[in-house]
Structure 1
Amino acid sequence: MSKISSNAFADTKPHYNLLDGLRGVAALLVVWYHVNEGFGFAGAVNGVGDGSIKNFNHGYLAVDFFFILSGFVIGYAYDDRWNKGFSMKEFFKRRLIRLHPLVVAGVVLGAITFFIHGSVQWNGTQVATSLTMLAMLCTLFFIPAIPGSGYEVRGNGEMFPLNGPLWSLFFEYIGNILYALFIRRLSTKVLGALVVVLGIALTWFATFNISTYGSIGVGWTLDTVNFLGGSLRMLFPFTMGMFLSRIFQPVKVRGAFWIGSAALVALFSVPFLGPVEPVSMNGIYESFCILIAFPILVWLGASGATTDKISTAICKFLGNISFPLYVVHYPFMYLFYAWLIKSKLYTFGDSWAMSLGVMAWNVLLAYACLKLYDEPVRRYLAKRFLKQN
């Protein structure tokens, strides 16, 4: 197995090199998915089309892949520590130091881009600066916005309207709390049973189109169905990843990173599958990806090894930028969407230069945030607040 040494401010165990690389690939694919999302959104706002995403239809499943990776890494990193004097307080400090500095950056960038956009909702309604500041404060403390409230400033129901994808970090925090309080105490057999029950529940939700969206792309807004769906989207892959970390035995595989990367591109590129009644064909496909394909990819990624400096460097770079890229890219998607709406452009062919520029800008921004902000801040916080192992 290929692992690289942890940084001084990271968790003390080494981490899997190829899994880092696959996480980075998935993060890039999320950005590409959101680029394509913009074409449908701009069309819907201007009354052209139904707002559906025409290309790269299943990129939202990257979130579910992130959750299974997170569960695997947390189980691997912490399961054997609890009987060695490791405390819940120490766990939460480590997770906050790992995640929240970039959350702060993502919120600040969200507020800045909202001001650049003119502090207006998508329908043109002006938003008071005080409400934007309230939205910013609530997001910093992960207090979700109620749809239709004054501090739900963009007007399209997002849980965190200054940086929409933070909804998944909200559920990630819930998963971390449940792990520390409850899941870590389960035996492997009981954890496996819980995974089966959650897998059945997730399959039911997706296959019978409980969301009525025609997809499992839920969790981003605060209503009953979205909270249920978002919880299932987190809980099953999160616990599955932990279960895999406990039973993992490497298999011999060559080219695991390239196989996994190609598989993610292929899985996310599958067009929307209909019909949705009496059962959703798209939901069956989503269930296949989350319950079967993603665990296999995690197992292969954990089993594989980089064999040359180039692939090692690629995996390290992609792993390093994966979380910054996910957290900081969407504020600039709002500006991109506003430009598409104003320019009345609804396809990649009409906007290829700007679309590729948005991709490149977000990668560069993520790397800059990592090196100039995230790593120094985490290094300082770790030295200040963590026990040195």
Structure 2
Amino acid sequence: MQPAAPRHVYLNLDAIRGVAAISVMLYHFSPFLADGKVLPSSYLAVDLFFLLSGFVIAHAYDRKIENGMGFGTFLAIRLIRLYPLYLAGTLLGCFYLLVKNRLIATEYMPLSEIGTQLTTGMLFIPLVGDAYHTIFPLNPASWSLFFELIVNIAYAAVFLLLSKRVLTVLVAVSLVLLIVASALAGTLDFGMTGKTIISGLPRVSFSFFLGVLLCRSMAHYQDGLGFLRRGWWVEAAILLTLIVFAIAPAGAAGRVAYDLASIAVVFPLMVVTGAVAPTAPRLASFYGWLGRVSYPLYIIHTPMLMIIAGAGKAASVDPFAHHP
């Protein structure tokens, strides 16, 4: 049994994750901010989250599981980390529906339906029926958290089988399935509805296990990337995050090619850059803050958006009145 080594904190990756979370929030709030979409490709932030998660989970838990951490312990730690804020967001969504029932009679929802959405939401059970615009209607952004938990469970359950060779095959197969799914859909923006939930599996599998593979391969490539230890590479990677999210290719073929290139080439390069390059001391606290707010911001912002939009509808104030 190897002794646990002090765990390195990847503040640069925290910063990238924080910027991605803010980008998603701006994307969803864009009807209130500007005509059209702000950062129209920021739905790809989910793929960046999965990639970062795979890297960080491998960094944090590979050695611990090798040293005897059980599946139940791992899962409990992950649920303690993720569930409280998820539950808060779900309860906010329920609060929104209850208040809307009082204020907007034309959109009244039976209490039995609200109870169904609350119960399934609290138990992480997706609603896949055609009547639902997303698999977790009380907190729409949590669809990605559902897939995050699935892939976390898979990582721990088959940990002993996840050699680098197996990871490479798993990533390659997931990419092939992802190419097929995105070609059929004309985009990579899927997984959040009942009709596309199956396509979400290769989406999370590709990025998460690629992140695990990148983490486990650090020793083989970081020495050859010494140039990343000088200059402003991290800041360039953060800027590149915003550039990727800001571009909106025309046409389905261009959209698919752009999405796949972003998740298979650009995002891995960004993560490697963030992992290898040092953190500027004057930015360390700010990067740490970005990392701390990223998950709360992501998992709470959609029910807050629903509440704001509902308030606008009740008051018939544009642009809220026309928001879905």
| TM-score, length of structure 1 as denominator length | 0.73
Structure 1 residue aligned with 2:276? 303
Change beyond 3 A, Cα 1:184–1:273: farther
CA contact (8 A) 1:39 1:345 kept: no
1:136 to 2:118 alignment: yes
1:228-270 deviations in whole A, cap 9, x for unaligned?
A: 2211211100110001011014333232331121101100000
Match of 1:313 among 282, 285, 289: 285
Structure 2 residue aligned with 1:171? 147
1:69-89 deviations in whole A, cap 9, x for unaligned?
A: 001111111122223121111
- Per the TM alignment, residue 55 of structure 1 is displaced from its structure 2 partner at its CA by 3.9
Structure 2 residue aligned with 1:265? 242
Structure 2 counterpart SS, 1:157:
coil
Point out 4+ residue stretches in structure 1 off by more than 4 angstroms. 37-40
Map residues 212-361 of structure 1 onto 2, 5 A cutoff. 214-223=186-195, 226-248=196-218, 249-250=221-222, 251-252=225-226, 253=228, 254-274=231-251, 276=252, 280-309=253-282, 311-338=283-310, 342-345=316-319
1:178-205 deviations in whole A, cap 9, x for unaligned?
A: 1111255221122112212212221232
CA contact (8 A) 1:203 1:284 kept: no
- Per the TM alignment, residue 54 of structure 1 is displaced from its structure 2 partner at its CA by 4.0
Map residues 69-80 of structure 1 onto 2, 5 A cutoff. 69-80=52-63
**Highest RCO, 1 vs 2 (Cα 8 Å, sep ≥ 6):** 2
Change beyond 3 A, Cα 1:215–1:39: farther
Structure 2 residue aligned with 1:30? 24
CA contact (8 A) 1:17 1:306 kept: yes
Change beyond 3 A, Cα 1:266–1:20: same
Change beyond 3 A, Cα 1:76–1:57: same
Amino acid in structure 2 at the alignment position of 1:345: P
CA distance in 1, matches of 2:30, 2:249: 14
CA distance in 2, matches of 1:120, 1:67: 38
Map residues 84-99 of structure 1 onto 2, 5 A cutoff. 84-99=67-82
CA contact (8 A) 1:237 1:290 kept: yes
CA contact (8 A) 2:100 2:107 kept: no
Structure 1 counterpart SS, 2:136:
coil
Change beyond 3 A, Cα 1:313–1:200: same
Change beyond 3 A, Cα 1:169–1:119: farther
1:28-84 deviations in whole A, cap 9, x for unaligned?
A: 0010111125689xx9xxxxxxxxx54421010000000000011111111222231
Structure 2 residue aligned with 1:369? none
Change beyond 3 A, Cα 1:318–1:142: same
- Per the TM alignment, residue 339 of structure 1 is displaced from its structure 2 partner at its CA by 5.4
Change beyond 3 A, Cα 1:124–1:266: farther
CA RMSD of aligned residues (A): 2.4
- Per the TM alignment, residue 160 of structure 1 is displaced from its structure 2 partner at its CA by 0.7
- Per the TM alignment, residue 21 of structure 1 is displaced from its structure 2 partner at its CA by 1.0
Structure 1 counterpart SS, 2:189:
coil
Identity level (%): 31
Structure 1 residue aligned with 2:3? none
CA contact (8 A) 2:174 2:203 kept: no
Change beyond 3 A, Cα 1:158–1:120: farther
- Per the TM alignment, residue 146 of structure 1 is displaced from its structure 2 partner at its CA by 3.2
CA contact (8 A) 1:68 1:295 kept: yes
Structure 2 residue aligned with 1:145? 127
CA distance in 2, matches of 1:340, 1:30: 21
CA contact (8 A) 2:26 2:38 kept: no
CA distance in 2, matches of 1:119, 1:269: 39
Structure 1 counterpart SS, 2:140:
coil
Amino acid in structure 2 at the alignment position of 1:67: F
Structure 2 residue aligned with 1:160? 136
- Per the TM alignment, residue 119 of structure 1 is displaced from its structure 2 partner at its CA by 6.7
Amino acid in structure 2 at the alignment position of 1:293: V
- Per the TM alignment, residue 103 of structure 1 is displaced from its structure 2 partner at its CA by 1.1
1:80-137 deviations in whole A, cap 9, x for unaligned?
A: 222312111111111111111111111111112223333799x943112232133112
Amino acid in structure 2 at the alignment position of 1:135: Q
CA distance in 2, matches of 1:230, 1:185: 23
CA distance in 1, matches of 2:92, 2:118: 10
For structure 2, the 5+ residue unaligned runs are: 1-5
Change beyond 3 A, Cα 1:269–1:184: farther
Map residues 13-24 of structure 1 onto 2, 5 A cutoff. 13-24=7-18
Change beyond 3 A, Cα 1:97–1:142: same
Amino acid in structure 1 at the alignment position of 2:317: S
